[in-house]
């Protein structure tokens, strides 16, 4: 089949070129319609997401305003005094870097930690019952005031 046969050959009264062109334009029109419909869907989705962004930005502004209100020093001071009985430290109770050593020496020593009640544990190797207190050595108790460098 030669190229000139495409222009002269007929199929049910139409030239083959005309039928091919009509099919091409129908496929092209269908493709344009599908692309346009997809773009409309995308445009609607973008609008929905932009509305969500605006709602979230408004919510974020409200939350930041609420945090700013809750973090006001006067409010915290008032609540600390009302519910916890806390008041600002007086200047005679403040410590400087130079006096920290004296404050540490005057502080009472912490009470020794109580050892937990022994729970019997069966040793698989010897089949003997051992208390859990026997396994842990007791820490040495050296007073802090005696340790000097």
- Helical (H) or strand (E) element with 10: strand 10-11
pLDDT digits over 73-88, tens only? 999 999 999 999 998 8
pLDDT digits over 9-46, tens only? 776 777 778 888 899 999 999 999 999 999 999 999 99
Residue 127 lies in a domain: no
Can you say whether residue 45 is alpha, beta or left, with left for phi > 0 and alpha for psi between -120 and 50 degrees?
Answer: alpha
How many structural domains compose the chain? 1
pTM, to two decimals: 0.41
**Domain extent at residue 46:** 3-84
Q: Which of 118, 117, 119, 112 is nearest to 144 (CA)?
A: 112
Residue 31 lies in a domain: yes
């Amino acid at each position: 089949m030669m190229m000139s046969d495409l222009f002269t050959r007929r199929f049910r009264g139409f030239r083959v070129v005309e039928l091919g062109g009509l099919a091409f334009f129908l496929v092209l029109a269908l493709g344009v319609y599908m692309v346009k419909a997809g773009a409309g869907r995308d445009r609607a989705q973008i609008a929905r997401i932009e509305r969500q962004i605006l709602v979230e930005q408004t919510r974020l502004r409200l939350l930041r305003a609420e945090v700013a209100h809750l973090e006001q020093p006067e409010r915290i001071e008032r609540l600390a005094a009302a519910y916890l009985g806390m008041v600002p430290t007086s200047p005679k109770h403040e410590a400087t870097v130079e006096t920290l050593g004296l404050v540490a020496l005057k502080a009472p020593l912490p009470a020794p930690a109580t050892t937990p009640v022994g729970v019997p544990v069966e040793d698989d190797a010897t089949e003997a019952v051992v208390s859990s207190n026997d396994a842990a050595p007791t820490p040495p108790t050296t007073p802090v005031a005696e340790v000097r460098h």
